[in-house]
A and B are shown apart, each in its own frame.
Chain A
């Protein structure tokens, strides 16, 4: 049970590469555009292009490739389940049946849909992870806050919402560590998490999550007191140490992202949906 080692979402890897130093707004907007485009990808070719782009970002930001990929490990079971569901349950006319089992039929269309949807989730995850790996929580906040400014005018408490998000992200690692501790403590007392059928295994998780949730609430309460002690009274009247600046590098990267997006749109339109 090495949970914390495989968690990359929400973790920031400090660095001083040009990707790290980009204005967070540039990165957030680029990630948003890419994620929206991903939802329209229905064939394999755009993914090839996409992976080239992401690979370039990984190289530029000097994130160890192995580290960037290990975050995907905990996702694999979910992906596998999704893939199987698509394989058997996706229905369309005139497609070859690969094999059938009881009332289920694995079709060729299902196989492709399974592949494509798994790829989509993988790429969504990788894109978001790359954003958080190269952007510290506070600059992420500042970026989001600045982008959401129009909504604050309508009365939405954007600063507070963003602060909540920041703290949630910071707690990902801490809670994972705590979960690991509880699981190990239970294992030491003889609970075998890897034995039994699905139902039995799920049942064993209850005594793990209860202390985790109670612990989380306690931590949250302590954090509130600590923030209050440091004069936090909500977003009003706060100033910032780091101010955002949209520089030349930001302009170039935005142009590059837009150019890539255009290329992506072009390939998406040209290839047309597979099914």
Chain B
């Protein structure tokens, strides 16, 4: 009975679920390094989830389990109820969960924008008209129509990352995992890519998982997960997680700028609410002070 209820739960809202997932790899010296230990987490359908943690915390390793680039050695990963350990599911899982990586230069295949976007749908073996439709749609969503015949190498790094996102979008996934997509970008490119990620979630209804160590990106997400040494240390709405000040410091993470200012003001006797994350909230809070 309980098993049955859990199964219904998976179908209804958990798009990706990890159950006691552990993963270790051999280091250069041949020692086993534990990258993930007993991770239990879920990505809910339709949400935008941030996964943070310092370098080597295991967030990238975790993300690579989401579309079967890595398969669990211990524990299980279910994508839409399908186990990633079963090779027969791999193709379907990769259709459901797309992935964008850090460096746009290392993931673009073609030297023409539209041809790169078509690479994924071509791999799916779709008919020609369908590929053209999807490429048009993806370029349209990412505002790339004007550069569709250009060489990505001649565009800005922010635009190159948008092309990578469009390439995944054209595969019509239910979920897009962005693995530190802004790490190699300038501030402007970072803003553009973040905005596209939010747009995909809000307008296209795609589930988004954003790996990042920029707290100003986390504040726009529905939920956040904090990873450290292969373990999930905190999960919840960003407001709640940032209130655990001790933990955030211990994890070596920052606070969002507005949260930091609000906390500094609070320590000087201004009664600001502890849930402030965005600049607008801070402004509103200050205006409410008399």
0/1 per residue, A131-171, Cβ < 8 Å to B?
00000111000000000000000000000000000110110
- Chain B residues near A243 (CB, 8 Å)? 128
User: Shortest beta-carbon distance, B207 to chain A, in Å?
Assistant: 16
User: Shortest beta-carbon distance, A22 to chain B, in Å?
Assistant: 16
- Chain B residues near A45 (CB, 8 Å)? none
- Among A173, A222, A230, the most chain B Cβ lie within 10 Å of the Cβ of A230
- Chain B residues near A170 (CB, 8 Å)? 108-111
Verify B94–A14 contact, CB threshold 8 A.
no
- Among B94, B122, B149, B168, the most chain A Cβ lie within 10 Å of the Cβ of B122
Partner of B109, one of A13, A219, A227, A238: A227
Verify A239–B126 contact, CB threshold 8 A.
yes
- Chain A residues near B128 (CB, 8 Å)? 239-241, 243
Is A229 close to B, CB under 8 A? Answer: yes
Is A272 close to B, CB under 8 A? Answer: no
Question: Which of B113-121, B216-224, B242-250 has 4 or more CB atoms under 8 Å from chain A?
Answer: B113-121
Is A190 close to B, CB under 8 A? Answer: no
User: Shortest beta-carbon distance, A166 to chain B, in Å?
Assistant: 7
User: Shortest beta-carbon distance, B189 to chain A, in Å?
Assistant: 17
Verify B125–A237 contact, CB threshold 8 A.
yes
The distance in angstroms between the C-alpha atoms of A222 and B95, with both chains bound, is 19
Please judge, given known A-B contacts A231-B95, A241-B132, whether A14 and B112 are in contact too, CB under 8 Å. yes
0/1 per residue, B116-156, Cβ < 8 Å to A?
00111111111110011001000000000000011101000
Please judge, given known A-B contacts A12-B151, A231-B123, A239-B131, whether A166 and B110 are in contact too, CB under 8 Å. yes
Verify B149–A14 contact, CB threshold 8 A.
yes
Verify A241–B131 contact, CB threshold 8 A.
yes
- Chain B residues near A232 (CB, 8 Å)? 119, 123
Is A95 close to B, CB under 8 A? Answer: no
User: Shortest beta-carbon distance, B278 to chain A, in Å?
Assistant: 32
Is A205 close to B, CB under 8 A? Answer: no
- Chain A residues near B122 (CB, 8 Å)? 238-241
Partner of B91, one of A223, A229, A231: A231
User: Shortest beta-carbon distance, B49 to chain A, in Å?
Assistant: 18
In this complex, how many residues of chain B approach chain A with their Cβ under 8 Å: the count is 40
Interface positions, chain A 113-143, Cβ under 8 Å from B, are 136-138
User: Shortest beta-carbon distance, B23 to chain A, in Å?
Assistant: 16
Verify B123–A230 contact, CB threshold 8 A.
yes
Cβ-closest chain A residue relative to B150 = A14
- Chain A residues near B125 (CB, 8 Å)? 237-239
The distance in angstroms between the C-alpha atoms of A18 and B56, with both chains bound, is 52
Is A233 close to B, CB under 8 A? Answer: yes
Q: Can you name 22 A-B pairs with beta carbons within 8 Å? A: A12-B111, A12-B151, A136-B112, A137-B111, A137-B112, A138-B110, A138-B115, A167-B109, A170-B110, A219-B105, A222-B106, A225-B69, A231-B95, A233-B91, A233-B123, A239-B122, A239-B127, A240-B122, A240-B131, A241-B115, A241-B128, A243-B128
Top 10 closest A-B pairs, CB basis?
A226-B107, A241-B118, A222-B106, A138-B115, A231-B123, A230-B120, A229-B99, A241-B131, A237-B125, A136-B112
